[in-house]
Structure 1
Amino acid sequence: MTRTDTPPAWDERTQLATFLDYVRDTARAKCEGVSPEDAVKAPLPGSPLMTLCGLISHLRWVEFWWFQVVFLGGELVGPLADCTDDDPDPEMRLAVLTPLAQLLAEYEEQSARFRELVAAHDLDDEARKPVRDGLKVNLRWVILHVIEETARHNGHLDIVRELADGVTGD
């Protein structure tokens, strides 16, 4: 996999799409070569759900939430539909029951769908569902938010991977 944060063109859409793909590719790269046992290890005592599988699942469902549910107004399905105050992250809890390769494949498949969605909409198009306080964000904001969240969780993937099997990397 070749990761790059240098866009092939300098317009805003291409830059946003390039950075979104870059952080997605980085998340996948953090998981390359990890054993099935290490993929489900939760090495941080205060974060029992923070595994490589859990983080990849979370990233997949975060994108689903922002692009499919908030932006397109789609129905909330999957593990996020089961969120409660007592179980706020079922997508992370359940992820250890699914092989990492399958989670990565689902994440990539969904990323491809959302890549097409981004290409087909204007960056100023408004989300169908409001976020907080009735605020309606646009596609640009959704993309920036997903980039920010994915980049933040890439740091968690760095830590979890190093603690799980000692592997570090860019």
Structure 2
Amino acid sequence: MTGSVAGGEREVLETFLEFQRGVVRRKAAGLTDEQARQRHVPSSTTVAGLLKHLALVEHNWLGQRPSALPEPEVSFAVGEEETVAGLVAAYEAACARSRESAAGYPLGHVVPHEELGQVSLRWILTHMIEETARHAGHADILRELTDGTTGTLG
């Protein structure tokens, strides 16, 4: 894990989030477009779909006024023209915009949310860690089912 594990609250939150973002990127690394689209579970969850979904999550929580995400059939749907490289690039760009957006506000800054009322940046970062880590775990299982690769660093 890069970053500070003994820093202040913000630094610790950002370090955990960055680590989980890196896990997601590593789970997609080296997969062909076909492998990234493989469905190993009854749902439509794929490594490619996770990348697309998480880019939308980044945009939803840190790139605009937070609101409900589209249904999974939409947020995980990958078009035929979309590639792993393009999805990773879109995810990285969404993460960069999120970093830039979050950097401009203190952790206590609140924004309205259509379902939750007021949410603080602290809450959003904590939620982003939870959401990204959950899907990194999904990606780890899907990657293992694809080619046997396991672990947070591989």
Shift of 1:131: 4.3
Q: Answer yes or no: is 1:12 the counterpart of 2:9.
A: yes
Q: 1:29: which partner in 2?
A: 26
Q: 1:70: which partner in 2?
A: 65
- Secondary structure of the corresponding residue to residue 70 of structure 1: coil
Find the partner of 1:141 among 104, 116, 123.
Answer: 123
Identity %: 38
Q: 2:76: which partner in 1?
A: 92
Residues 5, 131 of structure 1: alpha-carbon distance in 2 compared, 3 angstrom cutoff: farther
* Cα displacement string for residues 60-114 of structure 1 (whole angstroms, at most 9, x for unaligned residues): 101111112335x8xx9xxx5xx4xxx6431212355410111101111121111
- Contact in 2 for aligned 1:53/1:95 (Cα 8 Å): no
Structure with greater strand share of residues:
2
Unaligned runs of 5+ in 1: none
What is the CA–CA distance in structure 2 between the aligned matches of 1:148 and 1:98, rounded to whole Å?
26
Residues 95, 169 of structure 1: alpha-carbon distance in 2 compared, 3 angstrom cutoff: farther
What is the CA–CA distance in structure 1 between the aligned matches of 2:128 and 2:143, rounded to whole Å?
22
Shift of 1:157: 0.1
- Secondary structure of the corresponding residue to residue 76 of structure 2: helix
Q: Answer yes or no: is 1:130 the counterpart of 2:113.
A: yes
